[in-house]
Amino acid sequence: MNITKNIPEERICYECNKPKNTERYFYKSNNPIFGFRMHICKECLNEETDLINIMTILKTHDIPFLDGEWMMCRHDIGNYLKTIFSLSQYKNKNWEDSDCCNKGKTEFRSKVTQTLLREIELLTPKLEKYRESEDYGTYKNLINAYREILNLIQSFSKEN
């Protein structure tokens, strides 16, 4: 059974909430849960510059983070995804093949973990502020971000 046959012609971007053509406006993905397409449209994804958010998206879609390719693509997520999905040497690669998951990359994992811990430090006061407010939506989003960061820390910190 081919899962990709059931991909809808249009999908709604999780970021901008606009319906868009699936093939034209969403990058490929390795994750069958999202129909092998990103859950964020190209336009919204190309606006993303925060490396932590980008790595979270890559992990969600089981796409490897390869530091050398990321640098060659000049930190441009669109060019990076096009490269990863167009070159044959990356055809069978997934998140577990990321530089941050390989054994010889402890320095890289350490740097990412430190960055993630700083993100937690910055997020904690915001959580405390919104916990007491009536803005439940913002609080819920902050909790989700906190959980995602904790999951990334666990992923980057574990020894393979």
**In degrees to the nearest 10, what's the CA dihedral of 126, 50, 84, 151?**
-20
Whether 86 and 115 map to the same domain: the answer is no
For residues 130 and 144, is the Cβ–Cβ distance under 8 A?
A: no
- Tell me the C-alpha distance between 52 and 145, whole Å: 10
pLDDT of residue 134: 76
Tell me which residue range forms the domain holding 115. Answer: 102-160
pLDDT digits (tens, 9 = 90+) for 14-60: 899 999 999 999 999 998 888 899 999 999 999 988 887 898 899 88
Kindly tell me if the per-residue pLDDT of 121 is higher than 80.
yes
> 98, 124, 150 — which closes off a domain?
98
Work out how many domains the chain is built from and give that number: 2
> Per mean pLDDT, which of 22-31, 66-75, 94-103, 133-142 is the most reliable?
22-31
Whether 32 and 74 map to the same domain: the answer is yes
